[in-house]
Amino acid sequence: MERLTKSLEDYMEAVYVLEQRDGFARISSLSELLKVKKPSVNSAAKLLKSRDLIEHERYGYIKLTPRGRALAKDIFSSHNDIKELLSEVLGVCESDAASQACEIEHVINERTHRKIADFVSFVKSDARIYSRIKDFKGKDHEKNGSY
């Protein structure tokens, strides 16, 4: 997977999410989703276009190129797999799991992401293990300062 800065990965993931939802992204929708100013989105769009990761004409729609879609899908998948590990397996509250997954996704490599995805899949595929994890998560962990 091509490595981008954390910020550019966030833009790629956001374009992917908006494309899935609306069929395209716009500068304004990215600005709103990422809570950044439009000039920042314009700068990122120029960089991503120069790397052939998005198609974008001034004032037009933003769409992922095939290469960009593959990269954005990997970033999105990594985020979701980490979030699932944190929330579903470890019992971290949903909002913390989402924000922390966003940080972790930028520092792990593809091998680590694959191990996380495989582990979550393994846990969920074994009813006995998944049941024991649900029991673990159900215990009152607040007493000792954990989630």
At 89-130, the pLDDT tens digits run 888 999 999 999 999 998 999 899 999 999 999 988 988 888
Topology (CATH level 3) of domain 76-138:
Diphtheria Toxin Repressor; domain 2 (1.10.60)
The domain limits of the chain are: 6-70, 76-138
Picking from 89, 20, 40, 124, the residue whose alpha carbon sits closest to that of residue 30 is: 40
Architecture of 6-70 per CATH? Orthogonal Bundle (1.10)
Q: Do domains 6-70 and 76-138 have the same CATH topology?
A: no
At 7-62, the pLDDT tens digits run 999 999 999 999 999 999 999 999 999 999 999 999 999 999 999 999 998 889 99
Picking from 9, 56, 51, the residue whose alpha carbon sits closest to that of residue 28 is: 56
Please tell me the pTM assigned to this model: 0.83
